[in-house]
Amino acid sequence: MRVLFAVNPEKSTFLYLAPMAWALRTAGHEVRVASQPGFADVITQAGLTAVPVGRDVDKWRGTEPELLEQSRAGLPSPWDILETDKEPSWDELREAQEHAVASIHRPDNVPMLAGLVEFARAWQPDLVVWEPFCLAGPVAAKACGAAHARMLFSVDVFGLTRERFRRARPADGADPLADWLGAYGRKYGFAFTEDMTTGHFTIDQFPASLQDHADLDYVRTQYVPYGGPAVLPDWLKRPAERPRVGLTLGLTATEIFTGYTVPLREVLTELSTLDIEVVATVAEAEQEKLGTLPDNVRVVSYVPWHALVPTCSAIVHHAGAATLLTTSRYPVPQLAVHYHFDQPILGRKLAEHGAGLALHTTEATGETVREAVRRLLVEPEFRRRAVALRGEIHSAPSPNDLVPRLEELTARHRTR
């Protein structure tokens, strides 16, 4: 069959989809990946065939610094309703949906939507796989009669928020997302259906312990890490001489936002007082601020995370989904120092599972991080629960194992 992946030009998002694209490719299916033209090099670097559609738009261009800082502090609107104890009014829910359409969905999708529909109608894919921000995907799928699947890169805040909105909506209430998608339906010759918001089915890479589900059709697969081209450094070829602790705070903090939200030098200095070896990935621009660090702290710009984690006795990270899930494939306790999007949710769920601890960045000091890491190293229950989490992940079908199920679902949902 022919499979078209549709992604917005966000590298971190695309990397979640690449192993599934390759699983379909190695099963003998034709695979294409469509995005804005400037993103083609990222796609081809993964060995996949890029389809440039539409025009290039930098979604972060012109965004005010204060708005960027607001968006880093947990879930933005409309998904922030999942993290509040206050039950929002119907007007608040509707206004949040209007805001999402105007400020997120339109800017993300309009630049590539017409080009994606044109290519889909010409190539005639059987299945369109799209990430939750790329709502051009289901429009293109409906326009050519393909089945379509949403593939998650996070906790399903999208499906849960949509479910909550529909449950609260009065009979005569407006539906801004349905109205916007329905307008494209009228343009391309089909009626809006609810699957356009959440897919005919959803491919979920998260173990149940770390996920919340809406009342939707989910198919689970295990997360397989892919971070792009990587080279194993010489020092990682040798066993650690004492317990190794890996630390990363992710790329988003420095590539999009204004830097780290924890006192990194203080954290590294305090960690060095433990009888451990610390390996910290720190952006080059931030390394200059660290000054001279103790001898048992190694600072690098990048290291393949899936190669580092198995050598570690504990991990400190920002609770980014890719980092957390990669770490969870190994029996290594984790400390989640979280701040952005679904990271607070993932950090909380990790701690509830028992495979680690969680600190919001407002609580992260050298002392609190050191104490949390000390506990991860000496309290055996954390490792026992990390072993259980690893088992849960590996019990799910691999992307290759999932392909027959995707073939079955595609045959069920396509309309041509």
pLDDT digits 0-9 by tens, 328-376? 999 999 999 998 788 999 999 999 999 999 999 889 999 999 999 999 9
Q: What is the CATH number of the domain that holds 131?
A: 3.40.50.2000
Do both 68 and 107 map to the same domain? yes
pLDDT (average), residues 180-202: 97
- Which of 226, 145, 241, 152 has its CA nearest to residue 193? 145
CA 116 to CA 54: how far, in whole Å?
7
Do both 408 and 390 map to the same domain? no
CA 159 to CA 217: how far, in whole Å?
11
Q: Residue 73 has what pLDDT?
A: 65
Do both 216 and 275 map to the same domain? no
19 close to 226: Cβ distance less than 8 angstroms: yes
Q: Which residue has the tokens 């120092």?
A: 337
Do both 337 and 402 map to the same domain? no
Which comes out higher in pLDDT, residue 229 or 72? Answer: 229
Surface-to-core class of residue 209, CB atoms within 10 Å of its CB (0-12 exposed, 13-18 middle, 19+ buried): middle
Residue 228 inside a domain? The answer is no
Residue 227 inside a domain? The answer is no
Structural domain boundaries enclosing 309:
234-394
Do both 198 and 346 map to the same domain? no
Q: What pLDDT band is residue 85 in, cutting at 50, 70 and 90?
A: confident
Q: Residue 69 has what pLDDT?
A: 59
Angle between helix axes 136-144 and 176-188 (nearest 10 degrees) is 40
Half-sphere exposure of residue 400, counting CA atoms within 13 Å on the CB side? 4
Q: How many CB atoms lie within 10 A of CB 59?
A: 16
pTM attached to this predicted model:
0.93
Q: How many CB atoms lie within 10 A of CB 352?
A: 11
Q: What pLDDT band is residue 303 in, cutting at 50, 70 and 90?
A: very high
- Which token pair is 359? 């600190």
CA 225 to CA 322: how far, in whole Å?
7
Do both 273 and 156 map to the same domain? no
Q: What pLDDT band is residue 62 in, cutting at 50, 70 and 90?
A: very low
Do both 40 and 80 map to the same domain? yes
Q: Residue 70 has what pLDDT?
A: 54
Do both 291 and 143 map to the same domain? no
Residue 229 inside a domain? The answer is no
Q: Which residue has the tokens 């570690």?
A: 312
Please say if the pLDDT value at position 67 is more than 60. Answer: no
Residue 103 inside a domain? The answer is yes
Please say if the pLDDT value at position 22 is more than 60. Answer: yes
Do both 178 and 242 map to the same domain? no
Q: What pLDDT band is residue 283 in, cutting at 50, 70 and 90?
A: confident
Please say if the pLDDT value at position 11 is more than 70. Answer: yes
Do both 6 and 84 map to the same domain? yes
Q: Residue 374 has what pLDDT?
A: 98
Please state the domain count of the chain: 2
Do both 42 and 56 map to the same domain? yes
Q: Which residue has the tokens 């921000």?
A: 133
